[in-house]
């Protein structure tokens, strides 16, 4: 007599949607209801309703719009007693850094489709499997106390782990679609936000944008040489060579006198 091992599917994550735009809310509802890993337990169209709903139904995950009339997404977080995993949804990437500092699992830029949403859900499943980390509200207080100080480190995902990377160790940052590739000792690590969103939180005395797709750490620059068409070639300690754009060349000229 042989025994058969049964595979039990994971319990769906209980989700709440907070979105003030009806069309966007309908779209997100359809994505949630179509995904086997999620079950929808509530919706809200404004921040105050969202706070009451989340504290009452205690979902596993909150799909949270950033910009809403009255209490915005970050205001919702500060008022929550129950603290679910957060996926921000917004048409703007200007808040991405703050969102990840608060421990957000993902940051969905509208409009997003099924594939991008599926990536966010996969990250949710990974995050649920991780040990508890610093609570989002604790992160929010820390960010507010810092008063917008330059970031010293970021966390990147490696398998099911979140690994800290000191920005002082990053030689360059490359745009990679909706991600930033952090290059440390010649190895690339992907961070889930755009380069434009991350740049304002970098130390301007250390990091400069020399191209639309490239930011370099001045501490890792070993040479700046003339290149074609009046542009500069930047050589980094890890062997990388990057041709600066015209605007990037102007910035380099100001630095070199």
Shared domain check, 225 and 249: yes
Q: What is the pLDDT of residue 71?
A: 86
For 228, phi then psi, to 5°, come to -75, 160
> Is residue 168 in some structural domain?
yes
Q: For residue range 194-250, what is the model confidence (pLDDT) as tens digits?
A: 888 788 888 888 999 999 999 999 999 999 999 988 899 999 998 999 999 999 998
Percent share of the chain, pLDDT over 70: 81
Q: Is residue 165 part of a domain?
A: yes
Do 75 and 51 touch, CB atoms closer than 8 A?
Answer: no
Answer yes or no: is 8 within a domain: no
Residue 129, pLDDT score: 66
Which residues form the domain of 128?
13-141
Quick check: is 4 in a domain?
no
Same domain, 185 and 121: no
**Alpha-carbon span 149 to 205, nearest angstrom:** 13
- Domain check: are 26 and 78 in the same one? yes
Q: Tell me what pLDDT residue 176 has.
A: 83
Q: Tell me the pLDDT tens digit for each residue of 40-76.
A: 999 999 999 999 999 899 999 999 998 888 888 888 8
pLDDT category of residue 79 using cuts at 50, 70 and 90: confident
Question: What average pLDDT score do residues 153-179 get?
Answer: 82
Note the pLDDT of residue 159. 62
pLDDT for 233: 94
pLDDT, position 133: 40
Q: In terms of domains, do 166 and 120 share one?
A: no
Which of 130 and 79 is assigned the larger pLDDT?
Answer: 79
Is 81 a domain residue?
Answer: yes
Q: 149: pLDDT confidence band, cut at 50, 70 and 90?
A: low
Q: Omega into 190 within 30° of 0, i.e. cis?
A: no
Does residue 177 form part of some domain? yes
Q: Does the residue 108 lie in any domain?
A: yes
Decide if pLDDT at 96 tops 70.
no
* DSSP-derived secondary structure for 88-156: EEES--TTHHHHHHTT-SEEEESS--HHHHHHHHHHHHHHHHSPP-S-HHHHHHHHHHHTSPPP-EEEE
Higher pLDDT: 9 or 23? It is 23
pLDDT above 50 for 8: no
> For residues 248 and 210, is the Cβ–Cβ distance under 8 A?
yes
Report the candidate in 217, 209, 218, 200 with the shortest Cα–Cα distance to residue 150.
200
Q: Is the pLDDT of residue 102 over 90?
A: no
- Total structural domains in the chain? 2
Whole-angstrom distance, CA of residue 156 vs CA of residue 133: 14
| Best CA proximity match to 161, nearest among 189, 137, 182, 141 | 189
Residue percentage of the chain with pLDDT more than 90:
42
pTM to 2 decimal places: 0.54
Q: Which of 114, 141, 168 is the last residue of a domain?
A: 141
For 3-7, 46-50, 165-169, 202-206, which range has the lowest pLDDT when averaged over its residues? 3-7
The whole-number pLDDT of residue 219 equals: 94
What's residue 198's pLDDT? 83
């Amino acid at each position: 007599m042989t025994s058969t091992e049964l595979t039990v599917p994971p319990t769906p994550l209980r989700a709440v949607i907070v979105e003030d735009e009806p069309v966007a809310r309908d779209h997100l509802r359809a994505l949630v209801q179509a995904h086997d890993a999620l079950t929808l337990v509530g919706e809200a169209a404004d921040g105050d309703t969202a706070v009451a709903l989340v504290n009452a139904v205690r979902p596993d995950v909150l799909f949270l719009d950033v910009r809403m009339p009255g209490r915005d997404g970050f205001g919702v977080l500060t008022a929550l007693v129950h603290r679910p995993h957060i996926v921000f949804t917004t048409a703007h990437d200007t808040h991405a850094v703050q969102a990840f500092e608060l421990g957000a699992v993902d940051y969905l830029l509208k409009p997003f489709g099924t594939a991008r949403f599926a990536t966010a859900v996969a990250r949710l499943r990974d995050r649920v499997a991780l040990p508890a980390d610093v609570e989002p509200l604790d992160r929010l207080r820390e960010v507010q106390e810092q008063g917008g100080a330059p970031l010293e480190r970021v966390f990147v995902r490696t398998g099911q782990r979140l690994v800290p990377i000191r920005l002082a160790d990053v030689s360059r940052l490359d745009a990679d679609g909706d991600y930033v590739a952090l290059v440390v000792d010649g190895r690339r690590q992907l961070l889930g936000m755009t380069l434009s969103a991350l740049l304002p939180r970098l130390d301007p005395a250390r990091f400069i944008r020399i191209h639309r797709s490239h930011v370099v750490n001045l501490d890792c620059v070993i040479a700046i040489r003339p290149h074609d068409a009046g542009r500069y070639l930047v050589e980094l300690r890890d062997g990388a060579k990057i041709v600066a754009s015209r605007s990037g060349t102007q910035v380099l000229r100001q630095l070199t006198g």
